[in-house]
Amino acid sequence: MILISKCSMTAAMFGAVCLCGSIGAAAASGEVAVKEVRSTWITVDDHPEALESLETTAPADGTMLVTAAGSVNYESTNGTVGNYCLTLAQAPRNVEACEPAGSTNVAVRNYIAADFPTTESGVGMLQSYTLVRTWSVQAGHSYSFYVNGYQGGMTVSLFQPSITALFVPGKLP
């Protein structure tokens, strides 16, 4: 995993300050700050796991707006049922939100029917995803955020995934 600290379009819209390391002291003065982690390819296994993570320290009391985005690449074989699920959580391997009735938290789910045509081996299908959640945070506390997921019955990888934490002073409505 490569750690990059930079302003994204979302952060720029909020007048964010780019900081290295943790979100930093600039946000303690009431400014918005952002931290981002990016990868190229991540293989999704057939059991719940943390696929990507971001750790940061809250510079002040406020809200952490966490966004995960990228593309899911999957390969399916005709005659085989397949599925995958991705979710954001504060604990690794927590996929509670993947159960449709299990949680009100956000998740990206896809179920592939057995009669779905076979995808090209080594190419597959590409589907974009975005997960967004907010968490209340307290000054000086460290927080970890995870993109968790699993797959079944097919080959699944995340392509150019990123996870971004945007600190906003105060509470969001």
Q: How far apart are CA 95 and CA 149, in angstroms?
A: 6
Give this prediction's pTM.
0.78
Residue 21 pLDDT exceeds 80: no
Percent of the chain residues topping a pLDDT of 70: 79
The mean pLDDT of the chain is 80
Higher-scoring residue by pLDDT: 103, 98: 98
Backbone phi and psi for residue 144, each to the nearest 5 degrees, phi listed first: -120, 140
Q: Which of 3-7, 25-29, 79-83 has the lowest mean pLDDT?
A: 3-7
Domains along the chain? 2-169 (2.60.120.760)
Q: Decide: 173 and 79 in contact? Cβ < 8 Å.
A: no
pLDDT digits 0-9 by tens, 50-93: 999 999 999 999 999 999 999 999 988 888 889 999 999 999 99
Pick from 144, 117, 138: nearest CA to 28 = 138
Backbone phi and psi for residue 11, each to the nearest 5 degrees, phi listed first: -65, -40
Supply the pLDDT for residue 32.
Answer: 58
The burial class, CB within 10 Å (0-12 / 13-18 / 19+), for 100 is: exposed
Provide the CB-side half-sphere exposure for 134 (13 A, CA). Answer: 10
